[in-house]
Amino acid sequence: MSILTRFLAVVLVAVLVLPAFAVAAASPTPVASVPVVNIVCSDSDSGRNYLVAGSAAETNYVTGITRRGTDACVDPDTGLKTGSSAYVKEFYCSGTRMYAAIERCAEGLVCDGGRCVVEATPAPLALPCTDSDGGRGRWLAGTTLREGVGYFVKVRSECTLENTIPSP
């Protein structure tokens, strides 16, 4: 190889290869791109909270569409709203998306107004009565009568001063 050929090879390397190294060294370190959030979800009762009635909304800023859901008492078989039941349909957010789950309220709770609440205990009935033993055997089983129909009281067999059966 002649000196001229060697010289041209060195110049060719200097012209073609060395600028690529210089550009690579001068280029800034690439930064991971930050995704643009196009969908946002909000939940008024902060997630899967069955004890608080709330609502959730998912907004897609690209399409301009907002989906909304409000917690409600539902029939578990149909998913349709009911006035009250043992099941609640809970709307909640996971990340930027809205979801719904139908859950049975815990033991002793019922769904009312889109939340699980303590089941109301009905007030004891104050039934008019007459005492079969005339009030002599308070702790003996006896019979009380109301409108001619017999009711049996197993723990107490007395009428109160107002002539009603006392609560057990």
- pLDDT tens string, the chain, 168 residues long: the values are 566 566 555 544 455 554 554 444 455 555 566 566 799 999 999 999 999 999 999 999 999 999 999 999 999 999 899 988 899 999 999 999 999 999 999 999 999 999 999 987 665 555 555 566 665 555 555 554 444 344 443 334 455 555 454 554
Q: Which helix (H) or strand (E) holds 150?
A: strand 149-153
Rounded to two decimals, the pTM is 0.53
CB-based contact 132:142 (threshold 8 Å)? yes
C-alpha 100/C-alpha 70 separation (Å) is: 10
Please choose, from the candidates 77, 75, 86, 76, the residue with its C-alpha nearest in 3D space to the C-alpha of residue 108: 86
Pair of tokens at residue 46: 């902060």
Pair of tokens at residue 148: 């001619």
**Residue with the two structure tokens 């009935």:** 125
